[in-house]
Copies of this chain bind each other. A is one copy, B any other.
Amino acid sequence: MYKIAIVGYGNLGRGVEKALEKNADMSLVGIFTRRHPETVETLYGNVYKMEQLLDLKEAIDVCILCGGSATDLPEQTPDITKHFNTVDSFDTHALIPAHFDKVNQVAEESGHVSIISVGWDPGLFSLNRVLAEAILPEGKTITFWGKGVSQGHSDAIRRIDGVQDGIQYTIPNETAMTSFKKGEVDSLSTREKHTRECFVVLDKEANREKVTEEITSMPNYFDEYDTTVHFVTQEILDNEHKQKMPHGGRVIRVGQTSEINKEVIDFSLELDSNPEFTASVLVAYSRACIRLFKEGQSGARTVFDIAPKYLINKENSLLRSDML
């Protein structure tokens, strides 16, 4: 059995706890949190204070780091990799190279393996971008996201004066997707790729037109998109838009193998729960992390460095006979 620690217990940590139940070769050692353990309600895992992590060093094969990319992971991943194998979902694209270098140095020095930026984007989508470009070097790749909630855009709406609550969906443009796959266009503008749909609860005194105008003209977030704003009650928002966290997207590459022949590679995800799916990807890569460590490897890795066989709980000979 591979012995797993969950570090940080929000939606993602809870997703990892659920995912571990579905993997027969893995067991949960405990959940480590900065909160008071007695205030944390888990599904089944034991809760420890973050400071207790080192005490359980011998009992843990890998720590799955479930903190956020803004402030938690930049510090936690290097810190914890000094003592443990780690997997994180660091997703601030522009800062990935620096994060990798920092974690790699610690991992090499301490003899651990750390797989960073695991999830679906970065993660499975990145893997498919590389696979598709390797096979079709002459071509174009486009990534679509959604339909799903964007936390950043939802936060932006909620900061507007007069807005009590709100949620924003990113919606891929199916028509644009189809034209791209058919080879009718080889690039798409920001506006053509996605639309944005907002569900907003107003404060009593607020003005609909003014709020709509503020949302749709907001720089960086909305001004480059076609945005629809719906006004709803708090009850509707809570019941119809806050129960699940669906998301998804697709990576499409269209490439020419000769003058007359075009090939399309299309990888897509439709997720009822973004955090539970991301957690499931983290768990599969934590298996790889332990296996690489047991082979004597050390250093930082990404999804690009991991062969598929390391991810699955199945013997190599069975993979060849049953799944090839």
**A interface list, Cβ under 8 A from B:** 15, 18-19, 22-24, 93, 96-97, 100, 117, 122, 124, 126-131, 133-138, 181, 244, 257-258, 260-273, 276-277, 279-281, 284, 287, 302-309, 311-314, 316-317, 319-321, 323-324
Contacts and interface: CB of A to CB of B under 8 A. Distances in A.
Given A126-B324, A320-B100, A312 B264 contact: no
A21 to B, nearest CB: 9
Contacts of A100: 320
A134 B284 contact: yes
A178 B324 CA distance: 25
B313 A304 contact: no
Contacts of A313: 134, 137
Contacts of A257: 15, 18-19, 22, 272-273, 276-277, 279-280
A261 to B, nearest CB: 4
A319 B307 contact: no
A308 B288 CA distance: 14
By Cβ-Cβ distance, the 8 closest A-B pairs, closest first, are A257-B276, A134-B311, A134-B312, A261-B272, A261-B273, A264-B270, A304-B309, A134-B284
B324 A93 contact: yes
Given A181-B270, A271-B264, A320 B97 contact: yes
Contacts of A19: 257
Contacts of A314: 130
Nearest to A303: B308
Contacts of A97: 317, 320-321
A179 to B, nearest CB: 14
A137 to B, nearest CB: 5
Contacts of A320: 96-97, 100, 302, 304
Contacts of A137: 22-24, 313
B258 A273 contact: yes
A263 B272 contact: yes
B281 A130 contact: no
A265 B303 CA distance: 17
Contacts of A324: 93, 96, 117, 122, 126, 302-304
Contact of A305 (B15, B124, B309, B311): B309
A263 B281 contact: no
Contacts of A134: 284, 287, 308, 311-313
A18 B134 CA distance: 15
Contacts of A128: 267
A292 to B, nearest CB: 11
A138 B22 contact: yes
Contacts of A15: 257
Contacts of A304: 307-309, 316, 319-320, 323-324
Interface hub of A19, A263, A281, A324 (most chain B Cβ within 10 A): A324
A281 to B, nearest CB: 5
Contacts of A323: 126, 129-130, 133, 304
